[in-house]
Structure 1
Amino acid sequence: MQAMIFAAGLGTRLQPLTNNTPKALVKLNGKTLLQRSIENLQQQGCTRLVINVHHFSDQVIQFLREHQNFGIEISVSDESGELLDTGGGLWKAQSLFKTDEPILLINVDVLTNLSFKELINYHEVNQSMATLVVRKRRTSRYLLFDGQQQLCGWKNIKNGATKVSRPDSFEAATPYAFSGIHIVQPSIFQQIEASGKFSIIDLYLKLAQTQRVKAFIDSQSLWMDLGKFEQVTEAEELIKAIDNNKSSKA
């Protein structure tokens, strides 16, 4: 398995924890978010990892060096010059991936015990260009999928803005919240026309007009993204639950 951790964000909503340290190195229950993400991927079979950096990038690079990359092959995609968002970040890192297997993408602030092997199997069985992990939860922006779990569009319920990929299915489509975990085929790089800074969601919405961009509906795993400082206590409790779940299966 090869994967990329998106770790370049500014972490503004986690201030004051990120005033002098990158979001990736924020500690919860004694471990940084980055270490938890690396170890989760490693335990689930990841052997090749790309991590993008921007905010306090030198600290992240030094952290990886001090821990000998946690015994896994890690390449750093340095965005110190410009933060490229998820789409641009993936595009910049393309030369660091193997071309013969899917790429798992995950945000560094996502905490989960989702089975990545199950996700990859679903992706491959459906022969999708991209597979997005989604959940039924309350948010302000939703991805819309039809009965075959094909991406049809996007909607912001706060301001009513929409982006439509498949007009025939859009109105009847089911809304789901994106979980910050996704898989793409390496051939996606041949489909990207944008460069510089751009959102990967916009890329998916464009690709979905003609290609398989599917939902993996996750209703079983423990999951959260640490988006705000006020969520730290909740995140620490979730980590305990994830660790306990691992212990019970050992």
Structure 2
Amino acid sequence: MKAILLAAGLGTRLKPLTNTIPKCLVPISGRPLLSYWLEKLANLGINEILINVHYLAEQVENYISQSPYRDKITIVKETALLGTGGTLKNNAQFWKDEEVIVIHADNFCLSDLSGLINSHNVKPAHVDMSLLLFTSNQPTQCGIVVMDADNVIHEFHEKVSNPPGNLASGALFVFSDSVYERYFKELKEHTFYDLSKDIVPNMIGKMQGWIVDDEYMDIGTPESYERAQKLI
């Protein structure tokens, strides 16, 4: 399995902290957020990682150049943001015929994710993708899913005013090797696509949910950032 860490975002909700540091490098208990992800992926046995960069890209590149995991990492610099789906399409050669875990590097996760990988390995034959889920106390701000008894997702509601529950997408995906051919092949290159809005809805009935077994959150606001500091 390969990994893609999406790390190009501007971090606007976390200003003024992100005026001088990219969100993927904000310190959590003295360690850059990105370092937690790289360590987690190494512990899962993943040896090929692609990271896209854009905002304050030089800082991310400098950090990776000194990382003990630098030989596992390919950096892709985006001169213009392509969105999460556009990044995947433009870098298809890295992952298109492989299983790949796709992670937003500005999220914080205490789970080792072994349960997610194990769940994906025994998924039903018709399922193409596994999605990490968590219980949200702000469901209107999240993508909310509805699953059946087999954990197959049959509804996905992206940030609606009256969500049908509080089981939320963590925007952390494990793709099977069929995903590119079925969902990305016909997309245009060098075009902005949002993974959760433009691609995931096409996977309804073909993706399974896995409820995370430890803390998981978006480090998108000063409040969530402070909560992560307390947790660690």
Above 0.5 in TM-score? yes
Is structure 2 residue 178 aligned with structure 1 residue 181? no
Match in the other structure for 2:22: 22
Contact 1:145–1:175 at 8 Å: present in 2 too? no
Per-residue deviation, 1:2: 1.7
For structure 1, which runs of at least 5 residues remain unmatched after alignment? 163-172, 240-250
Give 2:130's aligned residue.
131
Larger radius of gyration: 1
Conservation of the 8 A alpha-carbon contact between 1:145 and 1:174: no
Cα distance per residue 1:40-62 (max 9 Å; x no partner) = 21123221111111111122112
8 Å CA contact 2:136–2:166 kept in 1: the answer is: no
Report the equivalent of 1:221: 214
Partner of 1:190: 181
- Secondary structure, in 3 states, of the residue corresponding to 2:81? coil
Moved more, 221-230 or 47-56: 221-230
Q: Note if contact 1:77-1:92 (Cα within 8 Å) is conserved in structure 2.
A: no
* Structure 1 position 175, deviation (Å): 5.2
Alpha carbons of structure 1 residues 145 and 174: separation in structure 2 relative to 1, 3 Å: farther
How many Å separate the matches in 2 of 1:157 and 1:64? 34
User: What percent identity do the matched residue pairs reach?
Assistant: 27
The residue number in structure 2 matching 1:38 is 38
Deviations 1:58-113 (A, max 9, x none): 2211221133x52541011222x22122111111222123734x211111122223
Q: Which whole-Å deviations, capped at 9, do the CAs of 1:133-189 have from their partners, x for residues lacking one?
A: 1122222131222333222223356545x9xxxxxxxxxx86520113210123211
2:224 match: secondary structure: helix
- Count of residues in correspondence between the two structures: 222
- In structure 2, the CA distance between the partners of 1:174 and 1:29, relative to structure 1 (3 Å rule), is closer
Show the 5 A alignment for 1:58-73.
58-67=58-67, 70-73=69-72
Of 128, 143, 146, which aligns to 1:144? Answer: 146
For the Cα contact (< 8 Å) 1:42–1:72, is it kept in 2? no
Closer/same/farther in 2, CA of residues 114 and 234 from structure 1, 3 Å limit:
same
Q: Which amino acid aligns with 2:201?
A: L
User: In 1, are the aligned partners of 2:96 and 2:180 still within 8 Å (CA)?
Assistant: no
Distance 1:3 1:137 in 2: 25
User: Matches of 1:157 and 1:231 in 2, distance apart?
Assistant: 18
2:224 alignment counterpart: 231
**Residue 203, structure 1, aligned to residue 199, structure 2:** yes
In structure 2, relative to structure 1, the CA distance for the partners of 1:5 and 1:175 (3 Å cut) is same
Is contact 2:97–2:180 with CA below 8 Å preserved after alignment? no
Q: Give the TM-score normalised by structure 2.
A: 0.85
| Contact persistence 1:11–1:18 (CA under 8 A) | yes
| Residue matched to 1:168 | none
Taking a change above 3 Å as real, the CA distance of residues 26 and 157 of structure 1, as seen in their structure-2 partners, is closer
Which ranges in structure 2 are unaligned for 5 or more consecutive residues? none
Residues 200-229 of structure 1: CA distance to partner in whole angstroms, max 9, x if unpaired? 1231211325xx2111122x3122221102
Q: Which amino acid aligns with 1:45?
A: G
Q: Do 2:133 and 2:168's aligned partners in 1 also have CA atoms closer than 8 Å? A: yes
Per the alignment, in what secondary structure is the counterpart of residue 102 of structure 2? strand
Separation (CA, whole Å) in 2 of partners of 1:97 and 1:54: 20
TM-score, normalization: structure 1? 0.80
Give the letter for the 2:208 counterpart.
K
